[in-house]
Amino acid sequence: MSAANADNTEGSHTWRPRVETCQECHVNAIGQPIANFSDVPASADYDGDGTVETVFNEIGELTPDGSSGTGLFGQLISALNAKGIFYNPNSYPYFFTAAGGQFKAFTTHTLSASFNLAWSYKSGSCVYYHNAKYVVQILQDSLRALGVTPTGFRPQGDRNATDYRTIVINP
């Protein structure tokens, strides 16, 4: 997280990153050091819209009520809506039916996709900065689980997600 600033409000053990540290490696689209964390360019077109944008734009964002969104978040919201599952991160239950009742008819795939959406959205800014490529992978996997083939680039990695359904506990 880098060294703390003079006021000890960023860096070190505050868990608030310092943009100055990121500026050492990350530049914007015109080669200048990034001014904000949201300016970090993506290394590929993850959402499949034909344009390589910032990581923030590729992953996207949700409207405050979670009813729609942009980037991969928006695609996942649309895919869940097509299954009759609606999301609102600011009300409990988070997932509900079109009529407003609690959604309960989850399958393994819809539950996994719903969890991944809620986890990544509720994680806030860390999804864009700390391991964006992994978040892109799980959002794209969530789309696949819902029967949607992502059109964006899938980041490569050597650490596959664990399928916890196959783990035997206390054999």
Paired tokens of 115: 């969890």
Q: Are residues 88 and 123 in the same domain?
A: yes
Residue 85's pLDDT is what?
A: 97
Residue 5's pLDDT is what?
A: 72
Q: Are residues 93 and 64 in the same domain?
A: yes
Local confidence pLDDT in tens for the 171 residues of the chain: 567 777 777 666 666 677 777 777 778 777 888 888 788 889 999 999 999 999 999 999 999 888 999 999 999 999 999 999 999 999 888 999 999 999 999 999 999 999 999 999 988 877 887 788 989 999 999 999 999 999 999 998 655 555 656 656 655
Q: Are residues 86 and 124 in the same domain?
A: yes
Residue 94's pLDDT is what?
A: 93
Asked whether the beta carbons of 65 and 49 are under 8 A apart, the reply is no
Residue 126's pLDDT is what?
A: 77
Which of 66, 60, 141, 139 lies closest to 96, judged by CA? 66
Tally of domains within the chain: 2
Residue 112's pLDDT is what?
A: 94
Q: Are residues 151 and 92 in the same domain?
A: yes
Range of the domain at 74: 59-166
* Cα–Cα dist 68/62, whole Å: 6
- The angle that helices 108-122 and 132-145 make with each other, rounded to 10 degrees, is 150
Examine residue 22 and state whether it is found in any structural domain, yes or no.
yes
The three-class DSSP label of residue 56 is: helix
Q: Are residues 26 and 73 in the same domain?
A: no
Q: Are residues 14 and 63 in the same domain?
A: no
Q: Are residues 71 and 133 in the same domain?
A: yes
Residue 158's pLDDT is what?
A: 55
Q: Are residues 96 and 24 in the same domain?
A: no
Residue 14's pLDDT is what?
A: 64
